[in-house]
Structure 1
Amino acid sequence: MASKDSTQKQFFGITDNVPEEAWYWLAIGSILLSAGFKISKKDNWALFVGQWPPTFIVFALYHRLLRPSSK
């Protein structure tokens, strides 16, 4: 079983490879997808997908605040 530090290093290794702008585009895309689901009367899917943007924005802020040298 992997240790907590090893798992955390793997997680940050993966997220560090994603550019900051990609997280913002994912947030915008999920908002549009949620709106599309709402328009097509799929309210449960709209609510589910509508929860994603804050997570994507937090990842982008992580890159901006904790990894300023990557820009």
Structure 2
Amino acid sequence: METMFKTQDKREGKVAKAIEEQTSKLPSDVFLWASIGAMTAAAILQIARQKHMSLFIGQWAAPFLLFGLYNKLVKQRGHDSMDKE
């Protein structure tokens, strides 16, 4: 059963490859500043007593950081190693 998993084709799909090519062009700081901006906007909205909008905007911080992490991994690891061979 182990040999079955080793021989499977594990290349990236066309859509994932296209997304990685575009997002790898962005500096990692973009996602960090977007996250900080979302937290700042949420704090301002909280002070302005707009609780629902504050919670909505505040939830954007974590996905921005995850996008930044994905972006960093793509830059460091590159595309699928099988495509480079």
The one-letter code of the counterpart of 1:23 is F
Q: Secondary structure at the match of 1:41?
A: coil
TM-score (norm 2): 0.64
SS at match of 1:54: helix
- Structure 1 or 2, whichever has the larger Rg, is 2
Matched, 1:47 2:58: no
Aligned AA for 2:40?
L
Structure with higher helix content: 1
Which protein has greater RCO, CA pairs closer than 8 Å, 6+ apart? 2
Moved over 6 A (4+): none
Instruction: Among all aligned residue pairs of Structure 1 and Structure 2, give the percentage whose two residues are the same amino acid.
Output: 27
TM, length-normalised to structure 1: 0.75
